[in-house]
Chain A
């Protein structure tokens, strides 16, 4: 009896510790964002007063709203393109037998193994040739290159696990390949789509290096770069308050998204176990 209580409370302590470890940075950013002036540099763990002036300044001193919109547009486009190409590719790779399928899958995976920096200069040339420098479409292109491999892989795995007989039933019902994908497979892939879509969104939302390299003007910047480039009155002053406020603002959409799709996300992790 006592042992069980002991084990349960140990487990609880472990979970609480993990939770604190994960949430503390965000918490501290939030607390800091509510302070101003020299209060920021005093180490204190509890919030003291609520001063929202940092938030106001983030939006007034630079086109931060515009940056948020940019990030949102880019991430949404990346998700849409990745899922569209991912689902169609997964259909071919998961359901159609053809020579070289395994090789193709491995090479798709290989693409994602190059570090970003390695392809940066090459990609820069591509973007310039396509006249997409300082253009959001350039970012969409660059991010899609990195989200596609895992999207294709995850969706292929899910697609392959769908029962063969359902596909055959649909074929006998007169479904064209496109109808098969959109009306039978897509609804069944729902959880997988949510999972991969969310991951792609987070990747695109947080990406920094490409966004820094491929954009120039304030109005084309995405949020991570905008935050990094927030500057204070002089060269030696870093406006921590503003930066922290901006960080909190960018984190909120992700949290909201995850909360909205939470149920389907969990379903996605166990989806393979449910048979039609």
Chain B
């Protein structure tokens, strides 16, 4: 059993607090992804769990054991680095075996484990090569093999795919997902790529300025973001935000009036609408938001239409069938009313009532 527990974990460099009083529990066998914009502290947090950064305050537990002051190697974690960080002077075999060699594991055990894991990652025929003779994808597999071979309690991935090209990234992402399904090891994965985060995570942790914005399964974070930050961070194109005034279950702005599912809330708020929940008003339906089309991006499977709403806000929506509006023309838009997001002046979600 290797659950990870963070209690009031804080990191400061001098006076700047990078991570502030963070609590988090990760269950055994879970794959948790830390996402957030650069500088949000996600890598620092990962390195603190690895033991590569000191913890200024708070406690870290791995598998029920307090490891806050333990040396990295004694925490039972292994890490896959962004730049692979293979030992350039060792062949693949020795790279994978290095940790076991240092731990004075018996030669036969090392050999058996290295070969088994090389087969698992389909690098068995590369064992006699040097890292410089491998492609980026192969190097990343070796790095993963090196992490696995020590049979750690927790795997840490620090943006492992960001050095790969797009096609290889998608493929390796699938492999990591498959590997996690097979090994069932507790994993923490840091990325700034939300597609990686959404597809890999059992649960996602969205970090912003060293604080947890929201924790939950990807679907929940996407469909029910608890803060304005999470709502804006997930999804591409990003969620449309309209400044509105809410009264009597109607959100009103200069661009139009949208009925919302909130009976008790009144006052200024931000209305969030996903691009897929915004449509052209067609036929008899009366538009709720008006604006002027500014740009159409054709992505093949869909078009993204950009609109400047009557109050000056830029909106975007998906348009799949029929003729898209021509830039410069006035458009009327309707929303899927049961999938709206309302945030109060502090950026917190207003619950439906």
Asked whether, in the complex, the Cβ of B85 is within 8 Å of the Cβ of A173, the reply is no
Asked if A179 and B102 sit within 8 Å, CB to CB, the answer is yes
Question: Which among B82, B102, B150 has the greatest number of chain A C-beta atoms within 10 A?
Answer: B102
Assembled-state Cα–Cα distance A15/B17 (Å): 61
Across the interface, name the chain B residue whose C-beta is closest to A180. B102
CA distance A174 to B87 in the complex (A): 14
Report chain A residues within 8 Å CB of B195.
none
Do the beta carbons of B85 and A163 come within 8 Å of each other? yes
Q: Are B73 and A166 in contact (CB under 8 A)?
A: no
Q: Is B291 part of the contact surface with A, judged by Cβ < 8 Å? A: no
A170: CB under 8 A from chain B? yes
Number of A positions contacting B (CB below 8 A): 19
Q: Are A173 and B98 in contact (CB under 8 A)?
A: yes
Interface residues in A168-201 by Cβ distance below 8 A to B read 168-175, 179, 183-184, 187-188, 190
Least CB separation from A190: chain B residue:
B89
A173 pairs with B83, CB closer than 8 A: no
Min CB distance, A185 to chain B, in Å?
A: 10
In this complex, what residue of A is CB-closest to B103? Answer: A174
**Does B79 belong to the interface (CB within 8 Å)?**
yes
Residue of A nearest to B86 (CB): A276
Q: Judge if A237 is at the interface, Cβ distance under 8 Å.
A: no
Residue count of chain B within 8 Å CB distance of chain A = 22
Contacts of A190 in B (CB 8 A): 89
Known: A173-B73, A173-B98, A174-B103. A168 touches B89 (CB 8 A): no
Which residue of chain B is the closest to A176 with respect to CB atoms?
B102
A residues 244-276 near B (Cβ < 8 Å) are 274, 276
Instruction: Give the nearest-CB partner of A174 in chain B.
Output: B73
Measured between alpha carbons, how far is A111 from B86 in the docked complex, in Å?
38
- Measured CA separation A174–B88 after assembly (Å): 18
Q: Mark A77-115, 1 if CB is under 8 A from B, else 0.
A: 000000000000000000000000000000000000000
Contacts of B81 in A (CB 8 A): 165, 168-169
Contact with A along B129-160 (1 / 0, CB 8 A): 00100000000000000100010000000000
Interface contact A165-B83, CB-CB below 8 Å: yes
In whole angstroms, how far apart are the Cα atoms of A187 and B95 in the complex? Answer: 14
- Total contacts A to B, CB within 8 angstroms? 60
The closest CB in chain B to the CB of A165 belongs to B85
Docked Cα-Cα span, A163 to B85, in Å, equals 8
Considering only residues 284-316 of chain B, those with a C-beta below 8 Å from chain A are: none
- In the bound assembly, the distance between CA atoms of A236 and B208 in angstroms comes to 88
Chain A's nearest CB lies how many Å from the CB of B100?
Answer: 9
Q: Which of A134-192 contact B (CB under 8 A)?
A: 163, 165-166, 168-175, 179, 183-184, 187-188, 190
In the bound complex, residues from chain A placing their C-beta under 8 Å from that of B72 are 171-172
In the assembled complex, the Cα of A63 lies from the Cα of B50 at a distance in Å of: 62
Chain A minimum-CB-distance residue to B47: A168
Tell me the bound Cα distance from A227 to B50 in angstroms: 61
Residues of A contacting B89 with CB < 8 Å?
187-188, 190
* Contact status of A174 and B102, CB under 8 A, knowing A168-B52, A168-B79, A169-B79: yes
Query: How far, in whole Å, are A5 and B78 apart by their CA atoms in the complex?
Result: 61
Q: Which of B82, B88, B102 contacts A173 (CB 8 A)?
A: B102
Nearest CB in chain B: distance from A243 CB, A:
46
Q: Are A163 and B99 neighbours in the complex by a CB distance under 8 Å? A: no
User: In the bound complex, do residue A172 and residue B79 qualify as a contact, i.e. CB atoms below 8 Å apart?
Assistant: yes
| Shortest beta-carbon distance from B336 to chain A in Å | 46
Identify 20 residue pairs between A and B in the complex whose beta-carbon atoms are under 8 Å apart, listed by A's number: A166-B85, A166-B88, A168-B79, A168-B81, A169-B79, A169-B85, A169-B87, A169-B146, A172-B72, A172-B73, A172-B79, A173-B98, A173-B146, A174-B102, A175-B73, A187-B89, A188-B88, A188-B89, A190-B89, A276-B87
Q: Chain A: residues with CB nearer than 8 A to chain B? A: 163, 165-166, 168-175, 179, 183-184, 187-188, 190, 274, 276
Q: Which residues of B pack against A, CB within 8 Å?
A: 50, 52, 72-73, 77-79, 81-83, 85-89, 98-99, 102-103, 131, 146, 150
Instruction: Given contacts A165-B82, A171-B73, list 16 more A-B pairs with CB under 8 A.
Output: A165-B81, A165-B83, A166-B86, A169-B85, A169-B86, A169-B146, A170-B87, A172-B52, A172-B72, A172-B73, A172-B99, A173-B98, A184-B87, A188-B88, A276-B86, A276-B87
